[in-house]
Amino acid sequence: MYTEEHLSPVATRPPPVDILRFNTCGSVDDGKSTLIGRLLYDSKSLMEDQIEALERSADLTGGGGINLANLTDGLRAEREQGITIDVAYRYFATPKRSFIIADCPGHIQYTRNMITGASNVDLAIVLIDARTGVIEQTRRHSLLVSLLGVPHLVICVNKMDLVGYDQAVFDRIRQEFEEFASRLDLQDVTFLPISALAGDNVVTRSANMPWFEGSTLLHHLESVYTASDDNRIDTRFPVQFVIRPQRSDFPDYRGFAGRVAGGVLRVGDDVMVLPSGLTSTITGIDSPLGPVEKAEPGDAVTLLLADDLSITRGDMICRPNNRPRVSQELEAMLCWMDDASPMQQNKIYSIKHTTNSARAKITNVLYRLNISTLHRETGVSELQMNEIGRVTLHTTAPLMFDDYHQNRSTGCFIIVDEATGQTAGAGMLLSPRT
């Protein structure tokens, strides 16, 4: 970032790459991996060698044709069992948009993997088997999508070919899900009847369901509006590291590198550094392409300030009149992921938040959330693997944060077990209950 381009005129900002990150989730054998395989296959997004490998491989399901699920179920255990265990990532593009897909497991014991896959997506696809309708895992994964603040949700009623493409089946499942979802915080929900195996309404419209007047899944993915999903109001810039080249051509260069977590930063803006509270003015913004006039959410840039302030990794740059919360007393929804040890009150853990690190202890479990019934279970003191609860934490150093549903980047954190170095939990910071 400290190249000769720093001395050149301001770089022309290239057109942004339109990328949609989405995941698939649902119960076991609802067709998640097959759906992704169908998207890749019918959109002509596979290389010839991938198609040849599919054709050469033995179809473990005994169908005799290519098994589209093998495109994502890469682990041997997954192919042998016919299920997804790990989160598999795939990439493809159409002339309208590029996509990053996370295929999440459906088994209850792999809930933590599903949380990992859905933690930073723009859209979630929940598959429902048309023969079984809304079941416990459907409710579980939909709740997780709601808790994780995923902006867009697509409910794909799959295997419509096995129910004779009956509209009444689709309408019944839609009504059943809407009744359940009324208790969740879901912003944008779309319903699609599909058959991933046969390709109905995945990439091309289905002649078997003329009663459905909506778009195909791929068309919806290409056209869903995501520009307003980022928080462009609350300026947040966690400092990742300080750049001091100490070279003869840059003797006084002092830049603060990081990724914009919210808002828009412009040259000339007045800013404040937390936790010190010191103020300054942005005199330059360096990008990988050279100097730019502004930086938007997601941009990796280096900020130059008018004043020589003491700033280090973990500090937060914001606007003087629009600051995040700063506190050592936190309240959060915590998803426990450690299979070796349950969450323990008053045990010391490491907490990783934006670019900041501290030590923390969980002081209280306010309630454990029953994912199946949405009931709040009080009187508990620990969380087992895959359980979710609302907790209070105390940290050794103040954190600069926002409510998770206000800013997903500054509102999330992970808990690390200091003894094992394993990620033990993931949390979403919330405003204290009144």
DSSP string spanning 268-329? T-EEEEETTTEEEEEEEEEETTEEESEE-TT-EEEEEESS-----TT-EEEBTTB--EEEEE
Three-class SS of 177-215: HHHHHCCCCCCEEEEEECECCCCECCCECCCCCCCCCCC
> Taking the alpha carbons of 159, 160, 164, 170 in that order, is the dihedral positive or negative?
positive
Mapping DSSP to helix (H, G, I), strand (E, B) and coil, where does residue 146 land?
A: helix
CB 316 within 8 A of CB 407: no
- Angle at the Cα of 248 from the Cα atoms of 245 and 254, rounded to 5 degrees: 35
What's the rounded mean pLDDT across residues 187-215? 94
More confident residue, 76 or 162: 162
Q: Is pLDDT of 172 > 80? A: yes
Q: Is pLDDT of 305 > 80? A: yes
CB 295 within 8 A of CB 386: no
Six-digit token string for 392? 């209070």
Summarize pLDDT for 392-424 with one digit per residue, the tens: 999 999 999 999 999 999 999 999 999 999 989
What is the rounded distance in angstroms from the CA atom of residue 51 to the CA atom of residue 40? 11
What integer pLDDT is reported at residue 71 of this predicted model? 60
Six-digit token string for 427? 């949390």
- Give 189's Cβ-side CA count (13 Å radius): 20
Summarize pLDDT for 83-121 with one digit per residue, the tens: 334 556 788 888 999 998 887 665 555 566 667 766 788
What is the rounded distance in angstroms from the CA atom of residue 188 to the CA atom of residue 109? 28
- Does an H or E element contain 118, and which? helix 111-118
Instruction: Provide the percentage of residues in the chain whose pLDDT is more than 90.
Output: 58
What is the rounded distance in angstroms from the CA atom of residue 415 to the CA atom of residue 421? 10
- Does an H or E element contain 265, and which? strand 265-266
Six-digit token string for 431? 């405003």
Instruction: Provide the percentage of residues in the chain whose pLDDT is more than 70.
Output: 83
- Out of 2.40.30.10, 3.30.1490.100, 3.40.50.10470, 1.10.167.10, select the CATH number for domain 325-429: 2.40.30.10
CATH topology of domain 231-318: Elongation Factor Tu (Ef-tu); domain 3 (2.40.30)
pTM, entire model: 0.82
What integer pLDDT is reported at residue 61 of this predicted model? 45
What integer pLDDT is reported at residue 128 of this predicted model? 95
Which CATH code is given to the segment(s) 19-223? 3.40.50.300
More confident residue, 138 or 294: 294
Q: Is pLDDT of 77 > 70? A: no
Question: Residue 166: pLDDT band by 50, 70, 90 thresholds?
Answer: very high
The CA distances from residue 342 to 115, 312, 347, 358, in Å, are 17, 34, 11, 21
Question: Residue 66: pLDDT band by 50, 70, 90 thresholds?
Answer: low
Give the N- to C-terminal CA distance of the chain in Å, as an integer: 46
What integer pLDDT is reported at residue 4 of this predicted model? 45
Q: Is pLDDT of 5 > 50? A: no
Mapping DSSP to helix (H, G, I), strand (E, B) and coil, where does residue 364 land?
A: strand
Boundaries of every domain in the chain:
19-223, 231-318, 325-429
Q: Which residues pair with 204 in a beta bridge?
A: 200
Q: How many CB atoms lie within 10 A of CB 314?
A: 19
What integer pLDDT is reported at residue 89 of this predicted model? 75
CA 172 to chain centre: 30
What integer pLDDT is reported at residue 44 of this predicted model? 76
The amino acid present at 306, given as its one-letter code, is A
Q: Do the two domains 19-223 and 231-318 of this chain adopt the same fold?
A: no
Six-digit token string for 136? 């416990």
What is the signed CA dihedral for 395, 398, 399, 403, rounded to 10 degrees? 90
CA 416 to chain centre: 19
Q: How many CB atoms lie within 10 A of CB 362?
A: 27
Say if residue 275 is preceded by a cis peptide, omega within 30 of 0. yes
Six-digit token string for 315? 């500090």
- Which of 23-32, 62-71, 289-298, 304-313 has the least mean pLDDT? 62-71
Question: Residue 431: pLDDT band by 50, 70, 90 thresholds?
Answer: confident
What is the rounded distance in angstroms from the CA atom of residue 237 to the CA atom of residue 260? 5
What is the rounded distance in angstroms from the CA atom of residue 15 to the CA atom of residue 256? 24
Summarize pLDDT for 243-265 with one digit per residue, the tens: 998 777 777 889 999 999 999 99
CB 86 within 8 A of CB 78: yes
Question: Residue 229: pLDDT band by 50, 70, 90 thresholds?
Answer: confident
